[in-house]
Amino acid sequence: MQKNPYGQTYKGENHTFRMFKDEGDDLGSVPWNQKIFQNDTSHKCPTYVTQTPPCQGSCPSGHNIRGWLDIVRGMEKPPGDMSWQEYAFRRTTDANPFPSIMGRVCPAPCEDGCNRNEVEDTVGINAVEQYIGDNAKEEGYQFEVNAKDTGKKVAIIGGGCGGLAAALQLRKQGHSVTVFEKYDQLGGMMMYGIPDYRVPRDVLKYEIDRILATGIETKMNTKVGVDVTIEELEKDYDAVLFAIGAMSGRSLPVPGGDAANCVSGVAFLEAYNQGRLQHITGKVICIGGGDTSIDVVSVARRLGNITNIPEKDRPENIIFNDTAHDVVDTSKRLGADVLLTTRSTVENMPAAQEEIDDANREGVEIQGQLQPVEVVTDADGRATALRMIRLEEDGNTPIEGSEFDIECELIVAAIGQGVDAEGIDDSFFNDKGFIDADRNYQIPSKEGFFVCGDVIRPHLLTTAIGQAGIVAESIGDYLSGTSQHARPKVDVHYFDLMEKLQEWDLSPSDDYDSTGTPGEGTDTADYAVHNYEDRSFASIIPHSELFLGHFDHEDRNQRNHKLVNVDNVLGNFDERLIGYSEEEVQKEADRCMSCGLCFECDNCVMYCPQDAVFKVKKDKATLGRYVDTDYDKCIGCHICADVCPTGYIQMGLGSD
C-alpha cells in the first residue's frame, strides 16, 4: 500500500484516469473560452466526481455519514453474508466507537449542515446512529484487531471518549496501549458529566467494554502527576498521549463567589453521577446557558428538594466532602425551585433547543439577559442570595440601576471548565491551563508527546473523538519513524472507491499494456478506473450543485420521546429517547440525498439523448461505478450533469 500526499492509502499506482487532458495540458489546445461550444456539441465530457457531503464536513469526528446511511437504506450492499446492520456498524465505528452514546447526546452539527434542509427538513442522522449502536449491543458485535504486534507501547492519560477512541485506533495498528484513569470508572464526561437518563449506564459500559476487549490495559484510580510521574511514563512507553478531560469547573468570578454553597456545574454533576447527591435544599440558581447548565437544572428538578436537613447533608457538603446522602431521606422530597440564568437572550442560548424545550416543560424557570454581580452572604459565609444586573440584548451592556437580589440556597456556576493538572510540569500547558497542539496533535517541542480532547479546548464529545482518530495516525507515523504527513483541507473519513472495488473483487489490473503508464487517461483499459476523480479531501459539495427538483417532500420521521413534565419530573430518571424500529430507520435513511456520490437514480441514463450513458454490467458494478459513458457517442450536451440529483456528474474539459 502507498500513500498520496494527504496520507490516503491506495494499492500500487494511481488507477484513476481521465479520458482527456484538461485544456492547457496540451500546448496546441484552443483556449476553453474560445472552444467550449460548437453547434449542438461542446468540448466537455462527463466526469464522475466524489465530494464530501456537508453533513460529514460539519461533523467534528469526520464520520462517513453518507456511507452508513447508504448502507441502512440498502443502496450499498455488504460483502458476503454480512447483515446490513453489522456492515453499518463497521462503517460507523471506523470514526466513532460510541454510536449508541453519540446517537443520544451529540447535538448533531451534521444535521445543521444537511443539504436536505433545502428541501424540507434535515435527515435524522443521530437517530439512525443510535439504532446502529443499539442493534450492535443487542447482537453483541465486537471490534476486530488483525494487526501484528509492533512491540511499541503507548500510554494514554485519561479514559474519556477521546482517550478510549485513540486507544482503539492504536490497538488496530498493533501497538500496546495502557490507559491511566484517575477515577474508578472509565468514560470521562460521558460517565461523570452527563446524567444517566441521557446516557444509560448499561449502554455506556457495553461500548467501553467492547473497546477494552481489544486488549487495552487500564490502570484505574491512578492520577498521572501524583501516583505516577510523566518522567516514568516517558521512560516506560514509546509515546504518551494527553487525553485529560476538562473536569474542573470554574468558580463564579464575582465578590462572594467563593461562598461555601457556590459550586461548579461539573462538580454538581459528578456528585450526582457518582450516586452521592440524592436531593437538594431550597432554591437553586444555575448560571450558564450551555448544555452543562441544562443538565444541572434538569437533574435538580428530578432530585427534588428536602427541607430541614442537618448541616452535613447540605448539597455543597456532599459535593465537596465526597460523602453521600442517605437514600431513605429522599422519600421526603418535594419539587425543587430551579432557575437558570444566562447572559444572552433565551432564544440565543448555546444549549441545544431540544434540551431547552425539555427543561421548560419540566418546570425549570429560564431567564435571559442577566449577569451576576455579587453573591450575598451571611455571617457564616454562606450565600443567601445572588445579586444580578439586567443586560441589553447584546448580552454585554449592563442596564444602569437594574440590580436585584434572588434568594437561594445553592448557586451552581456552569460557566466554563478547566483541567486538573496537579503534579504535571507547567511547561506542557499554555497560560490558560490547556495544551497547545499542531495539526497532527503533537505537542510542540515535546517529542513523543501528543494530545487530544478537552485538554486542548473544551468542546463536544465528538470533537474529542475526531481528534483521537487523527492523533492515532500521528502516533502511528511517529512510532514507525515516518514523517508526519500534511492533513487534507477536508479532514474526514472518505468514501474510498478503490477500497470498495477491492472489497467486491473488481480492482483494476496491476498490469499495464506495452506502452506503460499512459500520459493521458483511458476509457477502455482494465488497469484504470476511467474518468473518475476523488475530490473528497479538497471540497464539500453545496446544495447549489445538486438537482434539488428530483427530491419529493418527505416529512422527517422524528424519533419519539417519553415526555417529562412538571407533574412527573420528580424522581423520573427514565431514558427519554425512544429509538427507531428497523422499518423507521430505513425509512429515515432513505431521505438522505447522497450528496456528492451516485445513488443510482438512473436519471443520467434516461435523459441522455445519445444513449451515451449506460449502466455498468452487474458483475462489474458497485457503489460509485454504477454508470459509465461511451465517449464515442457523447456530444457533451451536459444534460446528464443537469439532472444528476447528487452532483456526482460534472463536465470536465475535453480535447479537440
Q: What is the pLDDT of residues 359-395, one digit of tens each?
A: 999 999 999 999 999 999 999 999 999 999 999 988 8
Q: Once rounded to an integer, what is the mean pLDDT over residues 605-634? A: 90
Task: Please give the grid coordinates belonging to residue 429.
Answer: 500547558
Q: Which of 48, 73, 19, 14 is nearest to 627 (CA)?
A: 48
Q: Which residue has the cell 472495488?
A: 501
Q: What is the pLDDT of residues 143-171, one digit of tens each?
A: 999 999 999 999 999 999 999 999 999 99
Low-confidence winner among 194-198, 239-243, 529-533 (lowest mean pLDDT): 529-533
Q: Which of 274, 278, 298 is nearest to 286 (CA)?
A: 298
Domain identity same for 241 and 260: no
Residue 373: per-residue pLDDT: 97
Domain identity same for 532 and 608: yes
In a domain, 505, yes or no: yes
In a domain, 144, yes or no: no
Q: Once rounded to an integer, what is the mean pLDDT over residues 599-617? A: 94
Domain identity same for 409 and 432: no
Q: CA–CA distance from 88 to each of 9, 52, 63, 145, 162 (Å)? A: 22, 18, 12, 18, 22
Confidence class for position 524, pLDDT limits 50, 70, 90: low
Instruction: Return the CATH number at 235.
Output: 3.50.50.60
Residue 395: per-residue pLDDT: 84
Domain identity same for 329 and 458: no
Pick the last residue of a domain from 372, 397, 416: 416
β-sheet with 217-219: strand ranges across? 217-219, 176-180, 153-157, 239-242, 449-451
Domain identity same for 356 and 476: no
Low-confidence winner among 5-14, 483-492, 523-532 (lowest mean pLDDT): 5-14
In a domain, 651, yes or no: yes
Q: Which of 563, 578, 568 is nearest to 357 (CA)?
A: 563
Residue 546: per-residue pLDDT: 95
Cα separation, 524 vs 506, whole angstroms = 15
- pLDDT over threshold 80, residue 283: yes
Domain identity same for 237 and 276: no
Which structural domain range is residue 328 located in? 249-416
Domain identity same for 207 and 266: no
The pLDDT > 70 percentage for the chain reads 89
Domain identity same for 233 and 193: yes
Structural domain total, the chain: 3
Q: Which residue has the cell 445572588?
A: 386
Average pLDDT, the chain: 89
Pick the last residue of a domain from 416, 446, 472: 416
In a domain, 122, yes or no: no
Pick the last residue of a domain from 480, 507, 528: 480
Q: What is the pLDDT of residues 392-419, one digit of tens each?
A: 988 889 999 999 999 999 999 999 999 9
Neighbour-count burial of 583, counting CB atoms closer than 10 A to its CB (0-12 exposed, 13-18 middle, 19+ buried): exposed
Phi/psi of residue 370, nearest 5 degrees: -125, 145
Domain identity same for 327 and 363: yes
Confidence class for position 15, pLDDT limits 50, 70, 90: low
Cα separation, 31 vs 111, whole angstroms = 42
Q: What is the pLDDT of residues 491-522, one digit of tens each?
A: 999 888 888 888 888 887 766 555 555 555 55
Cα separation, 474 vs 485, whole angstroms = 8
Cα separation, 334 vs 571, whole angstroms = 10
DSSP 508: P
Residue 521: per-residue pLDDT: 54
